[in-house]
Chains A and B, each alone.
Chain A
């Protein structure tokens, strides 16, 4: 994960999304211990309060949970919850941008559908 101070998302959200990405790609598995606030603060050179805010956001969304005295762990069902949440933003964050770019350079809907079909077969467009 790379933090960007030009991203329209605040740092704490970028931290939360980075952890979500690691859960989605199974670098962090459900039931496993997640990163600590202090560890995140050190690695990304950010204020621990900012790191804590990102982690607390995931606790509120039941993606992480706290084990007293042991630290943060990935909750059961975390992958499912992240997928549901990300589906809502997929349209805004990715699809619209791709479609606007397609329109700008004159790629029609049929052509895009063909590209998707080829991608799924493992061919290059």
Chain B
């Protein structure tokens, strides 16, 4: 199989609402993808479709060459971790250790030693009942499962609701290390973009149910800048660039561009007294998905 995921012409409708429209993407083996999009962009729908929890209205999804819906063998290769909202009463009687027991039976690559290490790292009390867990502790349970399952395809859908900054750093740390030792395909959706972006190799941006872009992080880093200085100079030197946002302050301005700057162009800008910085992925995301009325170009 050339790719881990092949999605072709995928459309998902809920009644009259179109959640995803004509989505075609493929994801390579063993890369970490950042899946970005505003609220309601279709991220969770896409994750649920990948996890075999929904059927597409149109189009196809193949994971490791197979259809996943009601395909138990294929599903054992996929670990989906999302917000813990739709837990039924039966599961509420679970203790933390029961979640890990269930996961260990379901995932063939489950690593109990690693799970125990993570439980100690997050100071999780495995005897606690589900109903007595805070949202942060619930997220820790999810995270332990997502990492210790070592599933070839790991779907992390906003995995850390309620998790404090220190615990999030621990999570990034463990993820970077474990992924280095055990590469797998990870789709990671988060709103804390600047915190997580260094972990991404590729970025998929969903906007209003459609794919706005899919590019490597490096390509995006090399094609998103903010340049500040005298507006007259900015206007003349950046006239042929794709400007996505302009902010003025008197005669000064900041031009954000989604375009490349060559190694010849950068010193010319500096010599003209302009300051060149990179847009963070979060800024690029905000500007590209802003309401059109907010744009002045």
Contact = CB atoms under 8 A, between A and B. Distances in A.
Interface in B198-243: 198-201, 217-218, 221-222, 225
A25 to B, nearest CB: 24
Nearest to A9: B278
A8 interface: yes
Task: Across the A-B interface, give the 7 residue pairs with the lowest CB-CB distance, nearest first.
Answer: A38-B180, A10-B221, A46-B198, A92-B267, A42-B177, A45-B172, A5-B280
Contacts of A48: 176, 179-180, 183
A49 B276 CA distance: 26
Contacts of B221: 10-11
Interface of B: 31-32, 169, 172-173, 176-177, 179-181, 183, 194, 197-201, 217-218, 221-222, 225, 261, 266-267, 270-271, 273, 276-278, 280-281
B280 A6 contact: yes
Interface of A is mostly: helix
A67 B177 CA distance: 23
Interface in A86-104: 92, 96-97, 100
7 contacts: A5-B278, A6-B278, A47-B198, A50-B217, A50-B218, A96-B270, A96-B271
Contacts of A49: 31, 201
Given A5-B280, A7-B278, A50-B217, A45 B270 contact: no
A6 to B, nearest CB: 5
A8 B222 CA distance: 8
Given A7-B277, A92-B267, A100-B273, A47 B200 contact: yes
Given A50-B217, A53-B218, A6 B180 contact: no
Contacts of A44: 198
Contacts of B266: 8, 92
Given A8-B266, A48-B180, A100-B270, 12 more contacts: A3-B198, A8-B225, A10-B278, A11-B198, A11-B217, A38-B181, A42-B177, A45-B169, A47-B217, A48-B183, A49-B201, A96-B267
Contact of A41 (B177, B200, B267, B271): B177
A42 B173 contact: yes
A56 interface: no
Contacts of A37: 180
Contact of B194 (A5, A9, A12, A50): A5
A41 B199 CA distance: 9
Nearest to B186: A47
A61 to B, nearest CB: 15
Nearest to A5: B280
Interface centre among A38, A42, A100 (most CB of B within 10 A): A42
Interface string A1-38: 00101111111100000000000000000000000011
Contacts of A45: 169, 172-173, 176, 198-199
Interface centre among A5, A47, A53, A92 (most CB of B within 10 A): A47
Contacts of A10: 218, 221-222, 278
Given A7-B277, A11-B221, A41 B180 contact: yes
Nearest to B281: A5
Given A45-B198, A45-B199, A47-B198, A8 B179 contact: no
Given A6-B280, A96-B270, A38 B218 contact: no
